[in-house]
Amino acid sequence: MIASLTGVLVEKSPEAVVVETSGGVGYAMVVPLGVFERLPGVGSRVTLQTELVVREDGWLLFGFDSGSERTIFQRLLGASGFGPRLAIALLSALGPARTVRAIREKDFVALSTVSGIGRKKAERLVLELQDRFSEMPLDSIPAPSRGGSAAVRALEALGYSSPAAEDAVRSSLEHDPGGETAALVRSALKKLTGQKGGPA
C-alpha cells in the first residue's frame, strides 16, 4: 500500500498533480480542491498522504496534505454507493471540517448541494457514518481554503456542475494561487463561457 509520497511537484493541473520521487518515478494523483490550493508551485518539494483505491477498471491514487483529511476520505468510502470521486467532490465543495459537521449535525441541505448527492444519498451518508465522525476532533482538520471552495459554490449556484466548476477554479488557481473568491469566480467564468454549453 502507498501511504505517503515525498518528492518534487512536477505537474499541477485540474486533472491531477504529479509528484516525482528521488527514484525518478512520477505518481499522478487526484487531490481535493483545498489541498490543490495549499500546494506550493511546480518544482517545490512536497509530502502528501495518499490513499490507493483499486477498482476493476484501474488503480486510482488520491493525495492529501494532512492525515485527518485522508481519514475523512477513507471513512466516506465506507458509505454505501459512495465512490472516491464523489468523496473528493464533497471534500472539494464543503471542505473537510464542514463535511464532518454536516454529517454530525444531519445537515442534509449542505450535503445535497454537492452534485451527485441527492436527499436520499445524504440521509444514507449520515445514517451510516454519523457515529464514525462523532469523535473526530475538528481542531486537527485543515483550515478552509481561502477562496476556492466558495468560488466553486458560487459557480454551482449559477447552474454549473460541480466537476466543471471545480476544474475551472483549479485552473484559475494555477495562475492566481492567492486569489480571493470574487476574482476566482470571474476568472473561472471566462474559462467556462469559452467552453461549449454553460450552466446546466
* pLDDT tens per residue, range 79-88: 988 999 999 9
Count of beta carbons in the 10 Å neighbourhood of residue 200: 10
Nearest to 105 by CA among 79, 137, 80, 129: 129
pLDDT of residue 197: 45
For cell 483545498, name the residue.
34
| Structure confidence at residue 144 as a pLDDT band (50, 70, 90) | low
Cα(111)–Cα(148) distance, integer angstroms: 18
Do 87 and 78 meet the contact criterion of CB atoms below 8 Å apart? no
Average pLDDT of the chain is 85
Would you kindly state where each structural domain of the chain is located, as residue ranges?
A: 4-64, 67-140, 148-193
Q: Model pTM? A: 0.74
Which CATH superfamily hosts domain 4-64?
Nucleic acid-binding proteins (2.40.50.140)
pLDDT of residue 196: 46
- The burial class, CB within 10 Å (0-12 / 13-18 / 19+), for 163 is middle
pLDDT of residue 61: 96
Each residue's pLDDT tens digit, 16-43: 999 999 999 999 999 998 899 889 999 9
- At residue 52, φ and ψ (nearest 5 deg) are -95, 125
Average pLDDT for 140-155 = 69
Q: What is the CATH number of domain 148-193?
A: 1.10.8.10
Do 151 and 184 meet the contact criterion of CB atoms below 8 Å apart? yes
Same fold: 4-64 with 148-193 = no
Distance separating the N- and C-terminal Cα atoms of the chain: 39
CATH architecture of 67-140: Orthogonal Bundle (1.10)
- For the chain, the residue count is 200
